[in-house]
Every structure is written in C-alpha cells, then in structure tokens.
Amino acid sequence: MFIIKNTETGRQHLEPSRPSYKGRTYKSEAAAKAGITRTVKYYQKAVQQVADVLATGEKEYMAPMYNAYRDATEDHTEHTVNGIKFGRSFDMRKVATGETLEVMSVEEYGDPQVTRTGRSPYNGNEITVTIGINEVNTHMDPLCESHYTN
C-alpha cells in the first residue's frame, strides 16, 4: 500500500477529485503517482476554466472551479489580523503543481504524532493532547469544537 505525502506538512494528501470514502491509500506506487498527476491536472483545469470565463467577459468567480483556481494561484499562507490566525500553514500553490507531493509506502510513513497544548472548547481547561498528524483539526482532535458535538 502506498500514500501521497505532502512534504511541507508531513500529512497525507487527498486528491481533490477523489471521494473521501475511497481513502488515501493506493495499491501500487504507479497508482499513487497517477494520483499526483490527477491533482496537478485538476488545478490546471481550474485555471483554464477561469481563463475561459474571463474570455467571455464574465467575472472570474463565475467559473465552477473558482475556489480551486484561487488555491492554485493565490497566497493563502498563515497570517495574523488583530491577534487571530487565518490561512493555511502551507503553500497550496506548491501542492497544485505537485512540488511538495511524494509517494511513499504506508510502512515507511508510519503514524507520525504531534503534541499540542490548548484550551478545551468543552470546558475551557488547558489540556495537552498527542494525536496523529492527520487527525489535527478534525472531529478526532480534542482541541477542535466538533470533537464534543453530538
């Protein structure tokens, strides 16, 4: 089994055109490399769609893949406004070109862990948690509000 790893974040990459229920693993290295190719082509298609929409005289946001276009062309890296953090911790433009994606086996990848300290959204107490790097900011993360919702 193989995965696609984002070398900038250390997390597994999920193709934007692949349904989430199919998972992030591939049966062969060639299938994973094809996943990187599909990712790059997905973002190239988004850029082309916006160019076609602009050529017709409409606004760029009228393109169906406008959000993917913005991911592929704009800088969304983390920044702070009035003490609040916005954006991503990595540059999505590098993912759109395949620069930061690499194929590796599941055994080689292992299960990287991260330890974080923060305030619990449940009761406000400060807690320290160690979870897998791919579960950060998901419903599995105790520092995320969705962890405590029913």
> Global pTM?
0.80
**Judgement on whether residues 52 and 122 belong to the same structural domain of the protein:** no
For residues 86 and 128, membership in a common domain is answered with: no
**Residue 8, both tokens:** 């900038």
Domain count, the chain: 2
Ordered alpha helix ranges (H), the chain: 29-55, 66-73, 92-97, 106-109
On the question of pLDDT at 8 being above 70, the answer is yes
Residue 7's pLDDT is: 92
- Same domain for 35 and 98, yes or no, is yes
Query: Is 93 in the same domain as 78?
Result: yes
Interval 49-95: pLDDT, tens: 999 999 999 999 999 999 999 989 988 777 777 777 777 767 888 89
Among residues 43, 44, 62, 41, the alpha carbon closest in space to that of 53 is found at 62
> In terms of domains, do 51 and 76 share one?
yes
DSSP state, residue 88: B
Element (H, E) at 41: helix 29-55
In order, the DSSP letters of 13-24 are P--TTS-GGG-S
pLDDT, tens only, 21-43: 888 999 999 999 999 999 999 99
Q: Are residues 86 and 124 in the same domain?
A: no
pLDDT band at 149 (very low <50, low <70, confident <90, very high): low
Say what the pLDDT of residue 103 is: 96
Same domain flag for 67 and 16: yes
CA distances (Å), origin 130, targets 9, 13, 88, 134:
17, 21, 21, 12
For the chain, give the percent of residues with pLDDT over 90.
Answer: 51
- Structural domain range at position 37: 2-110
Q: How much is the pLDDT for 57?
A: 95
Is 68 found in the same domain as 19?
A: yes
pLDDT per position as a tens digit, 92-137:
888 999 999 999 999 999 889 999 898 888 888 899 999 998 888 8
pLDDT of residue 75: 82
